Structure 1
Amino acid sequence: MTRPFKVEISESQQELEKALKHATTASTKERLQMLYLLKSGQVTSRRSLAELIGRDQATITRWVRKYKDGGRDRLLEVKHAPGKLSIVSEEALKRLKQRLQEPQGFHSYGQIQQWLVAEFQLDIAYKTVYELVRYRIGAKLKVPRPQSTKQHPKSLSHFKKNFL
């Protein structure tokens, strides 16, 4: 003998319909559809609900348990893995940002590597340093173009004024 399939849904049918229309992910839509079908009375058993949604009965049972424990928010929450912790500490990252903003800055990513070893004892691969500076900090190594020592400053300003 199986347990009766009784679920008390606190949201109204209109709320669920509106949430279903605005759902962006497939998992959210499936779970909201389950609530909508139960609220509207279109299904009465776990088996028919599982067939209609295309999921196993155990999945339906797990979703119902989540809903009973924490409501719609708990049912729709998506857990993400925390990911690997960064080798570079926040302090090192902050000091690197400051150093990159200084006028002398760095001339190469290799120089940044050496600075990280000297300051923080962090031996990091060149590629990692490049990705850290370029993508995480969003900085570029700007090195001024070489200028001739024979160049006359007045003729340069005259050229800049009259060029366009």
Structure 2
Amino acid sequence: MAGVTKVEIYESAEELQELLRKQKIVSSRERIQALYLLKIGHVKTIQDVAVVLGRARVTVQRWLKDYTESGIKGLLSTKKSPGRPPMINLQAREQLDREL
């Protein structure tokens, strides 16, 4: 069948359910939920997972790729963007703080 995922999920359904309960970040919860749905057989394809979770198919594929490459730790790791550099340099900011 086209679209059926061949990802091997190593954790048991009970372990995934426990991880699901412990998650405080919504994005991490969705990722664990995707694995859980596949593990219990509620969904068969990546497209089905995407529909149930309300995410794009490509996003779910990226999650599963992260899981196969680096396991559950890699799936749950969040990457923080460095953000835009400040327009005012540190010295000028310190001087403004002193004057104010």
TM-score (norm 1): 0.51
Q: Distance in 1 between the 2:55 and 2:35 partners?
A: 14
Unaligned runs of 5+ in 2: none
What is the aligned residue count?
A: 95
**Over aligned residue pairs, what C-alpha RMSD do you find?**
2.3
Kindly indicate whether structure 1 or structure 2 has the higher relative contact order, using CA contacts under 8 Å at least 6 residues apart.
2
Which structure 2 residues correspond to residues 4-153 of structure 1 after superposition, within 5 A? 4-82=4-82, 84=85, 124-127=94-97
Show structure 1 runs of 4+ deviating over 3 A. 1-4, 82-85
Cα-to-partner distance string for 1:42-65 (whole Å, 9 max, x where unaligned) = 111111111111111111111111
Percent of paired sites with the same residue: 36
Unaligned runs of 5+ in 1: 89-121, 131-164
Q: Give the SS at the match of 1:7.
A: coil
Q: Which structure is larger by alpha-carbon Rg, 1 or 2? A: 1
TM-score (norm 2): 0.81
Q: Distance in 2 between the 1:67 and 1:125 partners?
A: 48
